[in-house]
Amino acid sequence: DQQVKQNSPSLSVQEGRISILNCDYTNSMFDYFLWYKKYPAEGPTFLISISSIKDKNEDGRFTVFLNKSAKHLSLHIVPSQPGDSAVYFCAASALRGGSNYKLTFGKGTLLTVNP
């Protein structure tokens, strides 16, 4: 039972364009969301996060949007660069539920940015 779903296994975009990665969740206890980026043979690295009290968080080229009513979040990368090519994982935690240490991950989306 996947509580965090990334329904697109892969995404290919042209350099300079926008990349939009989507994530849906089913557990209404989740109130904090994170995106991780993973290169081959490396561990995931933290990219950006958002609390459920916000609907948007921006950090440079990366913006995360949260739609609580739809239980949906998305990561926008603008402009996309070839170095952004990696697997992106969406993750969630339940701070109010006392499990602020545990992350539930989606299966990931492989982003390829073509020069």
Partner 1 sequence: GAGVSQTPSNKVTEKGKYVELRCDPISGHTALYWYRQSLGQGPEFLIYFQGTGAADDSGLPNDRFFAVRPEGSVSTLKIQRTERGDSAVYLCASSASGTGGMSGGYTFGSGTRLTVV
Binding site for partner 1 (CB under 8 A): 4, 6, 32, 34, 36, 41-46, 49, 51, 89, 91, 93-95, 99-108
Least Å distance, CB 16 to partner 1, is 28
- Closest approach of Cβ 50 to partner 1, in Å? 10
- Looking at residue 30, what DSSP letter applies? -
For residue 64, with 0-12 CB atoms within 10 Å meaning exposed, 13-18 middle and 19 or more buried, which class applies? buried
Q: Measured between alpha carbons, how far apart are the two ends of the chain, in Å?
A: 37
Q: Which is nearer to partner 1, 20 or 95 (CB)?
A: 95
- Identity of residue 70: A
Residue whose CB is less far from partner 1, 79 or 95: 95
Smallest separation (angstroms) from partner 1 to the CB of 29: 12
CA 38, distance to chain mean position in Å, is 11
- State both tokens at 38: 């993973």
Task: Give me the least distance between CB of 44 and partner 1, in Å please.
Answer: 5
In the bound state with partner 1, the residue whose beta carbon lies nearer, of 35 and 80, is 35
CA-closest candidate to residue 46, choices 88, 84, 4: 88
